[in-house]
Structure 1
Amino acid sequence: MALTHFPLRPRRWARPAGRAAHRATAAVAASLVLLLSACGGGDDNDGNDGGNTPAARNPGDLVAAQAINQISVADINAALNAPDSKVQGKVTPLYAVNSYRLTYLTTDKDGVTTTASGLVSVPVKPTGARSPIISYQHATTFHDDQAPSNKVEAVEPPLVLASLGYIVVAADYVGFGAAKGQVHPYLIAAPTANAVVNMLQATDTWRASSGVADNGQLFLAGYSEGGYATMAAHRAIQLANGALAQRVKAAVPGAGPYDVVETLDAQLDRVGKLFPPLGAVLDPGRLSKLPESVRIEVRNLLMKQMVPDDGDVAYQTLFLDRYIADERETLAREHSVHLGWAPTVPVYLFHGRLDLTVPYSASTSALSALRAAGAPAVTLTDCTTGKLGHLDCVPEYFHFAVTRLGQIATDL
């Protein structure tokens, strides 16, 4: 969901979109490079889950687990009903929440095995009680202290969802948490999916040793980059057809750039309408014929506008390099996540029609492709809130996801 990464109370986002109206380069950055903004973060406390962890060697293996904190129902309820809360009265916490930081093995941007981390938040239920699992994928942030296992606070979506009765699993992604200092593989399908899937596998190992029981139901949700990661992971799980595939019951991806080619084309088209000469210059058909050194300069200029000066996470630019080089087939094959599969469970897409960060056409393209592939239950619900923009629709998405999943989930 954009849950952390969308906060449930407003915070300072990564880069003010208003600069786009004043400078052409900022307009290109805001449009072409996708300002998939969001927030998260926190600090680990001392502690351990007490379980025995076998030696980790392969992606999906658990390395270690550490207890972080317990947050009460009262504290979560107070956070949700604070004067600046965007979800006042929308959800009612039922349980206190225990949270843990897991480290595990996954793959980096080059397919090399590396250590990553993530958050597991567990509702405090009677002994023996079971819970459905939500795999929650956070949206874009350029700050490591906003990653799920680094910001374990009452207002954060993983904690709120856990307070409703779900076990919530949230990967930090490579580049954050235990993998800080590595390049974040932004909008690259395979490592994005692996970070999520491997975190789920490591969580299963930890739950087995810690006595945290699930009820066999697995849901996936995320907003913005989190929506993209949700679809990437869902596709990987289904195509692998392993144990996880049998547990997935539904997914709720929100406002994600699933079709990366369409996303960038739509953004470039918008720039071309606002600044016709600039749109012509930045056309990939033209740029691809220029020397590589020139293309790199264009990419660096765009990335400089995208990443805030105080950002401490490095983002891989492969998707942008390939777009500028007009490598459309490669982009579709290795970056887009809506092709090559047909979901066998409900997929509830959600998007705002006036979204200027991730264009609405990214969702309509995904909807068309998935239905054409034979998916029986893929829908697209429009945001109806206010201006229908990317951030405007976050609170409505949260409520939409909670409602949809609540209609299917049991043992809450």
Structure 2
Amino acid sequence: MTSRLTKTVAATLATAALLTFPLSAFGAVSQPTLSEAAVSSVHAPRGALVSAVPVAQLTAAQLDAASVDFPGTPPASYGVTAYRLIYRTIDHDGRPTTASGIVVLPDGRRGALTVAEYLHGTNATKAAAASVDDTSTDRLVTALFAGQGLVGVAPDYLGLGLGPGPHPYLDTKTETTASADLLLAARTFAAKHGVALKRDVLVTGFSQGGRATMGFGRALSRGEVGPFRLGAIQAVAGPYDLLGSELPASFDGRLLPATATFYLAYLMTAWNRTVGLYDDPREVFQAPYASTVEGLFDGTHTEGEIHAGLPNTPEELFTPAFIRQLQHPTGRLLRAARAADDVCRDWTPRVPVDLYSGTKDTDVTAANTDACAAGLRARGADVTVHSMGPVDHTGTAFAAYPGIIRAFARWA
């Protein structure tokens, strides 16, 4: 679920590739304007475009150089230009809000093009989102799709990038609406550049974005995203099975304790805002963390700062009573987890599904992927599970995305 792909890979790529070019090679990066960052409570149609500014530009050769850590990625056919969009959407309770994301167009292409929508992994820092972070690997992956001649689309989700408020982490409802409404805004924006978006949408995502991919794919399959429908779905290392796989793995040694602590702290503080898990943090968190943990996830702290503010194990963070709740959920926590796990259980994709996992993943246990495949197959879906072998969480993405880019390129 982690943003480690963004952080680790971005640092590698920035050193190995992007910084070998002058800053201008990555485009004239604009700071958010006052009007761009402003949030209005005035009702506007979902998917309405608020603003668009260019944030990056890369030639085909620069894309190829930047993809060095994704060996086997097909050579780019086009240079690309990335734009930051702000658009109208809704929050968990259906209230109007705004969100940010990127749209990446292949330079020189016009007419009807296919969208590849990429959904990113866990990120607790607004400034690390693809629309505002010039070293974001999520931005790069989206650009690699555009380099094949597709239109790359990637939401920041609510509360990240230039989105107001905190991020509602692992909230299927807003992961889906933010993804859908950016696609609608992208249709308006692309038309201004002579590009019409084809009906079939290719959806992929990593980690948190893997499970968001299933939720968004479900909405497309059900005809809930304007004229668009699901064309292909490829999800990488997602926490699809919280109750049966990810929560148990947080306590039985399959996840690194510090990693599990980070994820559980993020999830419980976020879900408290959306489903209501506690009235006072002291009901859930031990001292001294009860007075600080919610503030760590306000979007202003880096991943390193958050880890420094948390203990090394869930048992040190949570009260004994809540540890028992995490191990044997009941009430609102159980209902929320069941709803989250439905992304692989309550619909039947009409297109083949490709899922990817790694056997040494200590962030999102590979059992999540097996459970998702079983749930979809029980409803008659055509599912292929790709084990990327003895690789960790980030390594799974490194290994999977060259093939996903190649598969999606056939739609260009």
TM range (shorter): 0.7 to 0.9
TM alignment of 1:9-408, pairs within 5 A: 9=9, 11=11, 43-44=29-30, 57-80=44-67, 85-88=68-71, 90-126=73-109, 128-152=110-134, 156-180=140-164, 182-241=165-224, 243-246=226-229, 248-271=230-253, 295-297=283-285, 308=303, 310=305, 323=326, 326=330, 327-334=333-340, 336-375=342-381, 377-384=382-389, 387-406=390-409
Give, in whole Å, the separation in 1 of the partners of 2:189 and 2:237: 32
What secondary structure does 2:192 align onto?
A: helix
Give, in whole Å, the separation in 2 of the partners of 1:6 and 1:337: 24
Residue type matched to 2:11 in 1? R
Give, in whole Å, the separation in 2 of the partners of 1:365 and 1:166: 31
Question: How has the CA–CA distance of structure 1 residues 311 and 89 changed in structure 2, closer, same or farther, with 3 Å as cutoff?
Answer: same
Question: How has the CA–CA distance of structure 1 residues 173 and 43 changed in structure 2, closer, same or farther, with 3 Å as cutoff?
Answer: farther
Q: TM-score, normalised by structure 1?
A: 0.72
Deviations 1:207-246 (A, max 9, x none): 2333223344310011101111111111122234554453
Equivalent pair of 1:130/1:215 in contact (CA under 8 Å): yes
C-alpha displacement at 1:381, in angstroms? 0.8
Question: How has the CA–CA distance of structure 1 residues 166 and 153 changed in structure 2, closer, same or farther, with 3 Å as cutoff?
Answer: farther
Unaligned runs of 5+ in 2: 13-27, 34-41, 258-263, 265-277, 308-321
Give, in whole Å, the separation in 2 of the partners of 1:273 and 1:176: 26
Give, in whole Å, the separation in 1 of the partners of 2:153 and 2:202: 10
What secondary structure does 2:179 align onto?
A: helix
C-alpha displacement at 1:45, in angstroms? 6.0
Question: How has the CA–CA distance of structure 1 residues 165 and 303 changed in structure 2, closer, same or farther, with 3 Å as cutoff?
Answer: farther
- Root mean square deviation, CA, Å: 3.9
Equivalent pair of 1:2/1:137 in contact (CA under 8 Å): no
Equivalent pair of 1:3/1:157 in contact (CA under 8 Å): no
Q: TM-score, normalised by structure 2?
A: 0.72
Give, in whole Å, the separation in 1 of the partners of 2:378 and 2:245: 19
Give, in whole Å, the separation in 1 of the partners of 2:335 and 2:347: 17
Deviations 1:261-316 (A, max 9, x none): 223333244149999xxxxxx9xxxxxxx99765421595796899735359xxxx
Deviations 1:1-44 (A, max 9, x none): 999954794638xxxxxxxxxxxxxxxxxxxxxxxxxxxxx943
Equivalent pair of 1:75/1:154 in contact (CA under 8 Å): no
Give, in whole Å, the separation in 1 of the partners of 2:379 and 2:197: 31
Which stretch shifts more, 392-401 or 343-352? 392-401
Residue type matched to 2:154 in 1? A
What secondary structure does 1:105 align onto?
A: strand
Equivalent pair of 1:137/1:223 in contact (CA under 8 Å): yes
Equivalent pair of 1:238/1:343 in contact (CA under 8 Å): yes
Give, in whole Å, the separation in 2 of the partners of 1:150 and 1:339: 35
Equivalent pair of 2:79/2:107 in contact (CA under 8 Å): yes
What secondary structure does 1:213 align onto?
A: strand
Question: How has the CA–CA distance of structure 1 residues 359 and 138 changed in structure 2, closer, same or farther, with 3 Å as cutoff?
Answer: same
Deviations 1:118-171 (A, max 9, x none): 100000134x34422101111112322321111346962112221121100010
What secondary structure does 1:337 align onto?
A: helix
Question: How has the CA–CA distance of structure 1 residues 56 and 352 changed in structure 2, closer, same or farther, with 3 Å as cutoff?
Answer: same
Give, in whole Å, the separation in 1 of the partners of 2:108 and 2:131: 22
C-alpha displacement at 1:183, in angstroms? 1.4
Unaligned runs of 5+ in 1: 13-41, 48-54, 276-281, 283-289, 313-319
Give, in whole Å, the separation in 1 of the partners of 2:203 and 2:43: 25
Deviations 1:373-400 (A, max 9, x none): 222x22211112xx32112222111113
Give, in whole Å, the separation in 2 of the partners of 1:366 and 1:95: 35
Residue type matched to 2:89 in 1? T
Deviations 1:90-119 (A, max 9, x none): 331211111111111112233322111110
Equivalent pair of 2:255/2:365 in contact (CA under 8 Å): no
Question: How has the CA–CA distance of structure 1 residues 153 and 292 changed in structure 2, closer, same or farther, with 3 Å as cutoff?
Answer: closer
Aligned residues: 346
Deviations 1:160-203 (A, max 9, x none): 221121100010111112214x1111111101111111111111
Question: How has the CA–CA distance of structure 1 residues 311 and 116 changed in structure 2, closer, same or farther, with 3 Å as cutoff?
Answer: farther
Give, in whole Å, the separation in 2 of the partners of 1:56 and 1:265: 39
